[in-house]
Protein backbone atom coordinates (compact mmCIF):
# COMPACT_ATOMS: atom_id res chain seq x y z
CA UNK A 1 0.00 0.00 0.00
CA UNK A 2 1.27 3.47 -0.92
CA UNK A 3 2.20 5.83 1.93
CA UNK A 4 -0.44 8.37 2.93
CA UNK A 5 0.68 11.99 3.16
CA UNK A 6 -1.49 14.85 4.40
CA UNK A 7 -0.25 18.40 3.88
CA UNK A 8 -1.78 21.23 5.91
CA UNK A 9 -1.61 24.84 4.78
CA UNK A 10 -3.68 27.98 5.09
CA UNK A 11 -3.71 31.26 6.97
CA UNK A 12 -2.06 31.78 10.36
CA UNK A 13 -4.50 31.38 13.23
CA UNK A 14 -6.81 29.06 11.29
CA UNK A 15 -6.01 25.99 13.41
CA UNK A 16 -3.11 24.29 11.67
CA UNK A 17 -1.57 23.15 14.96
CA UNK A 18 -4.91 21.66 16.05
CA UNK A 19 -5.25 19.87 12.71
CA UNK A 20 -1.72 18.50 12.96
CA UNK A 21 -2.49 17.24 16.46
CA UNK A 22 -5.56 15.43 15.10
CA UNK A 23 -3.36 13.71 12.52
CA UNK A 24 -0.92 12.66 15.24
CA UNK A 25 -3.84 11.24 17.25
CA UNK A 26 -4.82 9.28 14.12
CA UNK A 27 -1.43 7.61 13.88
CA UNK A 28 0.40 10.00 11.56
CA UNK A 29 4.04 10.96 12.02
CA UNK A 30 3.80 14.75 12.04
CA UNK A 31 6.13 17.66 11.24
CA UNK A 32 5.28 21.32 11.86
CA UNK A 33 6.23 24.46 9.91
CA UNK A 34 8.32 22.72 7.28
CA UNK A 35 9.71 24.91 4.45
CA UNK A 36 8.49 23.65 1.09
CA UNK A 37 12.04 23.32 -0.20
CA UNK A 38 12.61 20.47 2.28
CA UNK A 39 9.30 18.67 1.78
CA UNK A 40 10.17 15.99 -0.78
CA UNK A 41 13.51 15.05 0.79
CA UNK A 42 11.99 14.81 4.27
CA UNK A 43 9.06 12.66 3.15
CA UNK A 44 11.37 10.30 1.25
CA UNK A 45 13.56 10.03 4.35
CA UNK A 46 10.58 9.24 6.58
CA UNK A 47 9.26 6.63 4.14
CA UNK A 48 12.67 4.93 4.07
CA UNK A 49 12.52 4.80 7.86
CA UNK A 50 9.22 2.93 7.65
CA UNK A 51 6.65 5.67 8.23
CA UNK A 52 3.55 5.05 6.10
CA UNK A 53 1.31 7.88 7.35
CA UNK A 54 2.86 11.34 7.40
CA UNK A 55 1.31 14.71 8.24
CA UNK A 56 3.11 17.97 7.47
CA UNK A 57 2.10 21.54 8.24
CA UNK A 58 3.89 23.49 5.53
CA UNK A 59 5.36 26.96 5.87
CA UNK A 60 4.48 28.81 2.68
CA UNK A 61 4.05 32.53 3.23
CA UNK A 62 5.69 33.80 0.04
CA UNK A 63 4.55 33.74 -3.55
CA UNK A 64 7.80 31.98 -4.49
CA UNK A 65 7.05 29.13 -2.09
CA UNK A 66 3.46 28.75 -3.26
CA UNK A 67 4.55 28.64 -6.89
CA UNK A 68 6.33 25.35 -6.20
CA UNK A 69 3.56 23.80 -4.09
CA UNK A 70 1.73 22.14 -7.05
CA UNK A 71 4.99 20.61 -8.29
CA UNK A 72 5.88 19.50 -4.75
CA UNK A 73 2.54 17.66 -4.47
CA UNK A 74 3.11 16.10 -7.91
CA UNK A 75 6.59 14.94 -6.84
CA UNK A 76 5.16 13.25 -3.75
CA UNK A 77 2.47 11.49 -5.77
CA UNK A 78 5.15 10.20 -8.11
CA UNK A 79 6.97 8.40 -5.25
CA UNK A 80 4.21 6.91 -5.41
CA UNK A 81 2.14 8.13 -2.47
CA UNK A 82 -1.43 9.13 -1.71
CA UNK A 83 -1.30 12.87 -1.10
CA UNK A 84 -3.99 15.14 0.29
CA UNK A 85 -3.76 18.88 0.86
CA UNK A 86 -5.96 20.69 3.39
CA UNK A 87 -6.24 24.47 3.26
CA UNK A 88 -7.54 25.90 6.54
CA UNK A 89 -9.26 29.27 6.38
CA UNK A 90 -11.24 31.57 8.67
CA UNK A 91 -12.95 34.94 8.48
CA UNK A 92 -10.76 37.98 9.12
CA UNK A 93 -12.71 39.00 12.22
CA UNK A 94 -12.27 35.50 13.66
CA UNK A 95 -8.52 35.61 13.08
CA UNK A 96 -8.24 39.05 14.70
CA UNK A 97 -10.13 37.77 17.73
CA UNK A 98 -7.93 34.66 18.04
CA UNK A 99 -4.67 36.60 17.83
CA UNK A 100 -5.95 39.19 20.29
CA UNK A 101 -7.10 36.58 22.80
CA UNK A 102 -3.86 34.58 22.69
CA UNK A 103 -1.66 37.70 22.40
CA UNK A 104 0.33 35.94 19.72
CA UNK A 105 2.15 37.98 17.11
CA UNK A 106 1.06 37.43 13.53
CA UNK A 107 4.08 36.26 11.48
CA UNK A 108 3.66 39.14 9.02
CA UNK A 109 3.11 41.85 11.63
CA UNK A 110 5.45 44.84 11.60
CA UNK A 111 5.57 48.17 13.37
CA UNK A 112 4.00 49.76 10.29
CA UNK A 113 1.34 47.05 9.70
CA UNK A 114 -1.75 46.48 11.84
CA UNK A 115 -2.95 42.98 12.71
CA UNK A 116 -5.79 43.24 10.20
CA UNK A 117 -3.37 44.38 7.50
CA UNK A 118 -1.01 41.49 8.30
CA UNK A 119 -3.89 39.01 7.99
CA UNK A 120 -4.94 40.40 4.62
CA UNK A 121 -1.33 40.51 3.39
CA UNK A 122 -0.91 36.83 4.18
CA UNK A 123 -4.26 35.89 2.63
CA UNK A 124 -3.30 37.72 -0.57
CA UNK A 125 -0.32 35.38 -0.90
CA UNK A 126 -1.43 32.02 0.45
CA UNK A 127 -5.01 32.25 -0.84
CA UNK A 128 -3.92 30.89 -4.21
CA UNK A 129 -3.44 27.48 -2.57
CA UNK A 130 -7.21 27.20 -1.87
CA UNK A 131 -7.74 25.70 -5.32
CA UNK A 132 -5.29 22.81 -4.89
CA UNK A 133 -7.53 20.42 -2.93
CA UNK A 134 -9.80 20.78 0.10
CA UNK A 135 -10.76 23.87 2.10
CA UNK A 136 -12.03 23.75 5.70
CA UNK A 137 -13.51 26.93 7.18
CA UNK A 138 -12.67 26.98 10.89
CA UNK A 139 -14.37 30.32 11.68
CA UNK A 140 -17.21 28.80 13.71
CA UNK A 141 -15.44 25.61 14.85
CA UNK A 142 -14.16 24.73 18.28
CA UNK A 143 -10.84 22.90 18.51
CA UNK A 144 -12.77 19.72 19.36
CA UNK A 145 -14.93 20.03 16.23
CA UNK A 146 -11.93 20.73 13.99
CA UNK A 147 -10.13 17.64 15.30
CA UNK A 148 -13.22 15.54 14.51
CA UNK A 149 -13.50 17.00 11.01
CA UNK A 150 -9.82 16.30 10.27
CA UNK A 151 -10.19 12.68 11.40
CA UNK A 152 -13.23 12.30 9.13
CA UNK A 153 -11.27 13.84 6.26
CA UNK A 154 -8.35 11.42 6.46
CA UNK A 155 -10.72 8.43 6.61
CA UNK A 156 -12.24 9.35 3.24
CA UNK A 157 -11.61 7.18 0.18
CA UNK A 158 -9.36 8.99 -2.30
CA UNK A 159 -10.68 6.81 -5.10
CA UNK A 160 -14.17 8.33 -4.84
CA UNK A 161 -15.79 11.74 -4.94
CA UNK A 162 -16.36 12.42 -1.25
CA UNK A 163 -19.37 14.64 -0.59
CA UNK A 164 -19.62 16.77 2.54
CA UNK A 165 -23.16 17.87 3.41
CA UNK A 166 -22.95 20.82 5.79
CA UNK A 167 -25.76 22.68 7.54
CA UNK A 168 -25.15 26.25 8.70
CA UNK A 169 -26.86 29.39 9.95
CA UNK A 170 -26.79 32.51 7.81
CA UNK A 171 -26.59 34.70 10.90
CA UNK A 172 -23.13 33.20 11.50
CA UNK A 173 -22.02 33.60 7.88
CA UNK A 174 -21.82 31.41 4.79
CA UNK A 175 -19.07 28.74 5.08
CA UNK A 176 -15.90 29.69 3.23
CA UNK A 177 -15.38 26.07 2.18
CA UNK A 178 -18.74 25.57 0.40
CA UNK A 179 -18.76 24.60 -3.29
CA UNK A 180 -22.57 24.66 -3.58
CA UNK A 181 -24.90 26.65 -1.29
CA UNK A 182 -28.66 26.18 -0.93
CA UNK A 183 -30.82 28.65 1.01
CA UNK A 184 -33.83 27.10 2.83
CA UNK A 185 -34.82 30.16 4.88
CA UNK A 186 -38.08 30.39 2.92
CA UNK A 187 -39.37 27.18 4.55
CA UNK A 188 -41.61 27.18 7.67
CA UNK A 189 -39.50 27.84 10.75
CA UNK A 190 -39.83 25.46 13.75
CA UNK A 191 -38.01 27.99 15.93
CA UNK A 192 -41.26 29.87 16.55
CA UNK A 193 -43.28 26.81 17.54
CA UNK A 194 -43.74 26.12 21.28
CA UNK A 195 -41.16 23.65 22.56
CA UNK A 196 -39.26 23.30 19.25
CA UNK A 197 -36.74 26.13 19.54
CA UNK A 198 -34.50 24.16 21.92
CA UNK A 199 -34.53 21.09 19.64
CA UNK A 200 -32.75 20.45 16.34
CA UNK A 201 -33.62 19.14 12.91
CA UNK A 202 -32.66 15.64 14.07
CA UNK A 203 -35.33 15.53 16.78
CA UNK A 204 -38.67 13.75 16.01
CA UNK A 205 -40.95 16.72 16.92
CA UNK A 206 -39.07 19.02 14.54
CA UNK A 207 -39.03 16.35 11.84
CA UNK A 208 -42.80 15.88 12.21
CA UNK A 209 -43.35 19.65 12.01
CA UNK A 210 -41.36 20.01 8.79
CA UNK A 211 -42.81 16.91 7.16
CA UNK A 212 -46.29 18.41 7.53
CA UNK A 213 -45.48 21.05 4.89
CA UNK A 214 -45.44 19.97 1.19
CA UNK A 215 -43.07 22.82 0.29
CA UNK A 216 -40.38 21.30 2.50
CA UNK A 217 -40.50 18.06 0.52
CA UNK A 218 -40.50 20.01 -2.76
CA UNK A 219 -37.41 21.94 -1.69
CA UNK A 220 -35.67 18.72 -0.67
CA UNK A 221 -36.50 17.02 -3.96
CA UNK A 222 -35.36 20.03 -6.00
CA UNK A 223 -32.00 20.14 -4.19
CA UNK A 224 -31.57 16.38 -4.56
CA UNK A 225 -32.45 16.51 -8.27
CA UNK A 226 -29.90 19.26 -8.90
CA UNK A 227 -27.15 17.53 -6.93
CA UNK A 228 -27.74 14.06 -8.36
CA UNK A 229 -27.95 15.44 -11.91
CA UNK A 230 -24.61 17.22 -11.69
CA UNK A 231 -22.62 14.75 -9.57
CA UNK A 232 -21.34 12.87 -12.65
CA UNK A 233 -19.90 16.13 -13.98
CA UNK A 234 -18.14 16.87 -10.69
CA UNK A 235 -16.74 13.33 -10.68
CA UNK A 236 -15.50 13.87 -14.21
CA UNK A 237 -13.70 17.03 -13.10
CA UNK A 238 -11.12 14.92 -11.20
CA UNK A 239 -12.40 16.10 -7.82
CA UNK A 240 -11.96 14.12 -4.63
CA UNK A 241 -14.13 16.39 -2.45
CA UNK A 242 -17.32 18.41 -2.91
CA UNK A 243 -18.87 20.45 -0.10
CA UNK A 244 -22.61 21.14 -0.32
CA UNK A 245 -23.87 23.65 2.24
CA UNK A 246 -27.51 24.13 3.24
CA UNK A 247 -28.37 27.20 5.27
CA UNK A 248 -31.28 28.48 7.32
CA UNK A 249 -31.36 31.40 9.74
CA UNK A 250 -29.87 29.78 12.84
CA UNK A 251 -28.54 26.55 11.35
CA UNK A 252 -30.25 24.26 13.88
CA UNK A 253 -33.60 23.19 12.40
CA UNK A 254 -34.46 23.42 8.70
CA UNK A 255 -30.93 23.13 7.31
CA UNK A 256 -30.13 20.23 9.65
CA UNK A 257 -33.30 18.39 8.57
CA UNK A 258 -32.60 18.90 4.85
CA UNK A 259 -28.98 17.74 5.21
CA UNK A 260 -30.01 14.60 7.08
CA UNK A 261 -32.60 13.78 4.41
CA UNK A 262 -30.12 14.48 1.61
CA UNK A 263 -27.65 12.04 3.10
CA UNK A 264 -30.34 9.34 3.08
CA UNK A 265 -31.17 10.08 -0.56
CA UNK A 266 -27.48 10.04 -1.53
CA UNK A 267 -26.85 6.82 0.39
CA UNK A 268 -25.04 5.22 -2.54
CA UNK A 269 -22.47 8.04 -2.56
CA UNK A 270 -19.62 8.66 -0.14
CA UNK A 271 -21.15 11.32 2.09
CA UNK A 272 -20.06 13.00 5.28
CA UNK A 273 -22.47 15.09 7.37
CA UNK A 274 -21.41 18.17 9.31
CA UNK A 275 -23.75 20.39 11.28
CA UNK A 276 -21.68 23.51 11.89
CA UNK A 277 -23.91 25.18 14.44
CA UNK A 278 -24.34 21.92 16.38
CA UNK A 279 -20.58 21.31 16.63
CA UNK A 280 -19.34 21.48 20.20
**Do both 45 and 149 map to the same domain?**
yes
For the stretch 102-159, pLDDT in tens is 888 888 888 888 999 999 988 888 877 887 888 999 998 999 999 998 988 888 766 6
State whether 103 and 167 are in the same domain: no
The verdict on 148 and 79 lying in the same domain is yes
Same domain, residue pair 110 and 43: yes
Structural domain ending residue among the three candidates 154, 187, 209: 154
- Do 137 and 191 fall within a single domain? no
d(CA 10, CA 67): 15
Which residues neighbour 248 within 8 Å (Cβ) at sequence distance 6 or greater?
A: 167, 169, 170, 184, 185, 187, 189, 254, 255
Helix (H, G, I), strand (E, B) or coil at 195: coil
- Contact at 8 Å (CB) between 36 and 129? no
Question: Are the C-beta atoms of residues 160 and 230 closer than 8 Å to each other?
Answer: no
Q: Which has the higher per-residue pLDDT, 225 or 66?
A: 225
Q: Of the residues 154, 188, 204, which one is the last residue of a structural domain?
A: 154
**Do both 178 and 43 map to the same domain?**
no
Is 119:106 a contact under the CB 8 Å cutoff?
A: yes
- At 70, the pLDDT band (50, 70, 90 cuts) reads confident
Q: What is the mean pLDDT of residues 90-107?
A: 90
Residues 120 and 176 in one domain: no
With bands split at pLDDT 50, 70 and 90, how would you rate the model's confidence at 38? confident
Q: Are 247 and 185 in contact (CB under 8 A)?
A: yes
Q: What is the per-residue pLDDT for 263?
A: 94
Query: ∠ at Cα 56 (159, 17), nearest 5°?
Result: 115
* Cα 78 from Cα 53, distance rounded (Å): 16
Tell whether 58 and 81 lie within a shared domain.
yes
Query: What's this model's pTM, rounded to 2 decimal places?
Result: 0.82
Q: Are 103 and 95 in contact (CB under 8 A)?
A: no
The 10 Å CB-count burial string (b at 16+, else e) for 27-49 is: ebebbeebebeebbeebeebbee
Q: What is the domain range of residue 237?
A: 162-278
Query: Cα(190)–Cα(187) distance, rounded to whole angstroms?
Result: 9
Ranges 96-105, 184-193, 261-270: which has the least confidence: 261-270
pLDDT of residue 272: 86
pLDDT in tens, 167-215: 999 999 999 999 999 999 999 999 999 999 999 999 999 999 999 999 9
Tell me the three state secondary structure of residue 261.
helix
Confidence (pLDDT) at 107:
84
Q: Domain count for the chain, please give it.
A: 2
Indicate the DSSP class of residue 106. Answer: P
Question: Which pLDDT belongs to residue 132?
Answer: 81
| Domain edge (last residue) among 154, 187, 218 | 154
Amino acid sequence: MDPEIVLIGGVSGSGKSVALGALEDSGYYTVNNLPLSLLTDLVQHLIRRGHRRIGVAIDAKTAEALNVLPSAIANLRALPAKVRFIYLDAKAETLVKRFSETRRRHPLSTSERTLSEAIEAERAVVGEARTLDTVIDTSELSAHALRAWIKDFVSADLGELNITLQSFGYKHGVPLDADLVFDVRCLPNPHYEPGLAVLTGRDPPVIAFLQAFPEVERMLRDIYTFVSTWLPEYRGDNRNYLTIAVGCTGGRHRSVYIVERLQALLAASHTLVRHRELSG
